Amino acid sequence: MRDTPVPGGGRRTVLVVEDDRDSRDTLRELLELEGWPVATARNGGEGLARMRELRPGLVLLDLLMPGMGGAEVCRQRAADPSLLAIPVALITADLDLAPELRSPELVGRLEKPIRIPELLALVERYCGAGR
């Protein structure tokens, strides 16, 4: 399946799935300031729907969310080949990740506190014009 390119100098969308409003807004502002198209979702269910709808270049997925959390999103994604093609990086406060979340299908892990250079490098790699 080919993903449709997104306008904006060939830059692809970053989907931020995060329940905490401040964290979500901060990430969105920061990425938009750097020129990236950004979409957001407030929980795992919304996140999966937006992944299907937008086919983002990268998903930044919070682990702990009320309702459907990041772990369940990962499980559902693993069972759906079309979603498995979308790169997902976890945002987590936990050094100890459950074994299923250490699977190679995840492209990265941003530990809190998130370091901007690390974040931007990840976004550039998966959403940059070269992709």
* Residues in contact with other proteins by the rule CB under 8 A: 20, 22-23, 25-27, 29-30, 33, 64, 93-96, 112-116
Name residue 106's beta-bridge partners: 88
Looking at the Cβ atoms of 20 and 53, the one nearer to other proteins is 20
Question: Closest distance between other proteins and the C-beta of residue 23, in Å?
Answer: 4
Taking the least distance from each CB to other proteins, the nearer of 32 and 53 is 32
Contact 66, 43 (CB under 8 A): yes
Residue 42 or 55: the one with the smaller Cβ distance to other proteins is: 42
Q: Which two tokens stand for residue 90?
A: 């976890």
b/e for 20-44, b at 16 or more Cβ within 10 A? eeeebeebbebbeeeebbbbbbbbb
Q: Which is nearer to other proteins, 31 or 86 (CB)?
A: 31
From CA 36, how far away is CA 128, in angstroms rounded?
A: 9
Residue 96 CB, shortest distance to other proteins, in Å, is 4
Shortest separation between residue 93's beta carbon and other proteins, angstroms: 5
Locate 78 and state its tokens.
């693993």
Least CB distance from residue 43 to other proteins, whole Å?
Answer: 14
Q: Could you tell me whether strands 14-17 and 58-62 are parallel, antiparallel, or unpaired per DSSP bridges? A: parallel
